[in-house]
Structure 1
Amino acid sequence: MTVASVSRCLALLEFLAGERDLVELSELASGLNMPVSAAHRLVTTLANLGWVIQDTASKQYALSLKMSTLAFRHLDACNVSDVVQSILNRVATETHECCRLAVLENRELVWVARAQGATTGLRYDPDMGQGIALYATASGKAWLCTLPEEQALAIVYSRGFESPHKLGPNSAHCIDEFRLQLAEARQLGFATSVEEGEAGTAAVAVPFRASSAHNALAAGTISVAGPLIRITPDRWHELADALKAAATELAQIWPAKTRARCLG
C-alpha cells in the first residue's frame, strides 16, 4: 500500500468519525475531494476489513465500532481507565463540574478521559472527539505555559488562528493578543478560558508532569469546565487548587503508567 493510499484511508476514517448520520457515497467522495469510483474502492476495502459498515437498505456508509474498540483497548493499556479515572471522578465530585484529562502527543493535546460532577442544573458535556485549540482553551494555555515563551508563541503562530465562528467570542485573534493571555496565565499560576474555546462556557486548567521531579516535562493537562454562570472568577483559585492537587497525584503515578505501557 502506498503512502497516498494510507493517507486516503485515514482521511476517510476521520471524515466518517465526524458524521452522526449515514453518508452517501457521493457525499463521501465530495468531502474527500476524490472521484466517486476511487471513494467506492476505498470504502469497500475498509468495509471488508470491518472498519466501515454499509446499511443494506440505503447503501449508505458509517464508521463501525472497531476504531472505538481499539481506542478503549489502548486507553486500558495506558492505565487511563482504572488509575486516572478515580482522580478525575474525585475532582468532578468536589467541584460539581466536568473534569477532563488531556495527554500530550506530538506537540498536540488529546482528550483521553473525563468525569461529570454536575448533578443538578446545567451540565456541560463536551464532545471528546473535538480537537484542542491551544490558544483558545485553558488546557492549551496551561501546557504552553510550561514552555519558554518564544517556543510557545512559535507553536501557536505556526498553526494560525481559526475563524472566529468556530470558537468563542473572546478567543485571541492575533499573536500579540495571545501573548497577553499567556502572561496572565503565568502570573495566576493556572490557565483560564472564558468563552474562548466555546461560547457560554469557561474553564480552568493546570498541567501535570511526567514525574514528580521538579524539572520533569509536562505530560498533559487536567481541567474543569462548565457553564459561564458557574465557572466565575471568584471560583478560579478554588478550582485551581483542586486541580493542582490532582496534578501532583498524576505526576506520582505517571511513571508507573508509562512503564506499564512500554511493557505492553
Structure 2
Amino acid sequence: MTIADTLAIPRSATHRLLADLKDEGYIRQEFDGGAYRLTAKIVALGFSHLASAGVTTRIQPLLDRLADRTGELVTLAVIHEEKLIRVAKAQGARRGLLYNPDEGAEVYLAATSNGHAWLSCLEEDEVLQLVARQGVKRDGYGPNAPRTMRALLSFVETARELGYAKIFETYEPGTSAIAVAAFSERSKRPIGTISVAGPVIRMTSAAMDYILPALRETAAAIAEAGAGLPIFAEPVH
C-alpha cells in the first residue's frame, strides 16, 4: 500500500488509521477497496489551524492589501523543516486574464520566484543540497526554467545581487513573478517569502519594479505581524 510505504508504518496500522479517519469523516471511499479521498472536513481543519496560528487575522489582511494594490496574485510561503511551504494567497485580479495556478503546498525551488528568493539568502552548499532533493529536470514547467544546477545558480546569484527574485516564464508559460524574502526581526534570518505573479503581458519588468517597494513593505509588515506565530518558527542551525 502506497500510504504505508510512504509513512514507513505497518500496513495493519495504516488500515486502522484510515478506518478511524473514515469514521471521523476526514476521508471517504467511493466503494470498498477503492482509493481514499480527503473530505471538506479536513480542509476545514486546515483553515481552523491557520486561524488559530494567527494567519487569518494577522497575515491575510496584509496579503489582501498587496493584492488589491497590485491587481495580481500574491502568495506567502514559510520555511518549514528545510522546505518552503505555501500557506496563504490573495487574488487581486478582478477582470481580464486571471492567473491562479493549481499548486501543491511545497514550493518547487528551481523554477519559482519564491524559491529563488529563499535560495538567494543561503550559502551555495546549502542551495545545492536543498535543490538536489527536488531536482532541476522536472517536466511541465516554463520554457525558461533552469534544467541544470549551473543554470539555477545563475538565477540565484542574480537574485542575491538584486535583493529580490524575478522570473519570466520559468514556472509556467506566459507568466512572470517577483518575490522577496521576509526576515526575522530578531535573528535577521529568512522565515518565508512573498511573491506577486501574473500574466507576462501585465507583469513586465517595469511593472515589477513599480511593485517592488510595496512588496518589500508587505514582507516587513508580515515579519513584524508574524513575530511569535508558530508558522514562522525559525530554522535551527
* Maintained 8 Å contact 1:102/1:112: yes
2:122 is the alignment partner of 1:140: no
* Change in CA separation of 1:182 and 1:60 when aligned onto 2, cut-off 3 Å: closer
1:200 equivalent in structure 2: 174
Structure 1 residue 5, shift from structure 2 partner: 7.4
Which residue pairs with 2:227 in the alignment?
255
The 5-angstrom pairing of residues 1-264 of structure 1 reads 4=4, 7=7, 44=19, 46-55=21-30, 61-163=36-138, 165-211=139-185, 213=186, 215-258=187-230
Q: Which has the higher helix share?
A: 1
Give per-residue Cα distances to partners, 1:1-58, cap 9 Å, x unaligned.
xx9578278xxxxxxxxxxxxxxxxxxxxxxxx9xx99988755542342222347xx
Q: How many residues align structurally?
A: 230
Measure the CA separation in 1 of the matches of 2:190 and 2:150: 24
Using structure 2 for the length normalisation, give the TM-score: 0.84
Q: How many angstroms does 1:202 deviate by?
A: 0.8
Contact 1:135 1:156 (C-alpha < 8 Å) held by counterparts:
yes
Where do 5+ consecutive residues of structure 1 fail to align? Answer: 10-33
**What secondary structure sits across from 1:89 in the alignment?**
helix
Q: 2:134 & 2:7 partners in 1: Cα distance? A: 21
Deviation at 1:168, TM superposition (A): 1.2
Tell me, which stretches of 5 or more residues in structure 2 are unaligned? none
The whole-number CA distance in structure 2 between the counterparts of 1:60 and 1:155 is 32
Tell me the CA shift for residue 87 of structure 1.
0.6
The change in CA–CA distance for 1:6 and 1:193 in structure 2 (over 3 A counts) is: closer
Residues 112 and 128 of structure 1 are in contact (CA less than 8 Å); yes or no, is this contact kept in structure 2? Answer: no
For residues 43 and 64 of structure 2, the distance between their equivalents in structure 1, rounded to whole angstroms, comes to 22
* Structure 2 counterpart SS, 1:135: helix
The Cα of 1:186 is off from its aligned counterpart by 1.4
Letter in 2 for 1:187: E
Q: Measured at CA, do residues 53 and 157 of structure 1 come closer, stay the same or move farther in structure 2, by a change above 3 Å?
A: closer
Structure ID, larger Rg: 1
Describe the SS at the equivalent of 1:53. strand
Amino acid at match of 1:79: G
Secondary structure at the aligned position of 1:99 is classed as strand
Query: Is the alpha carbon distance of 1:148 and 1:67 closer, same or farther for their aligned partners in structure 2, counting shifts above 3 Å?
Result: same
**Which amino acid letter does the alignment assign opposite residue 175 of structure 1?**
M
SS at match of 2:153: helix
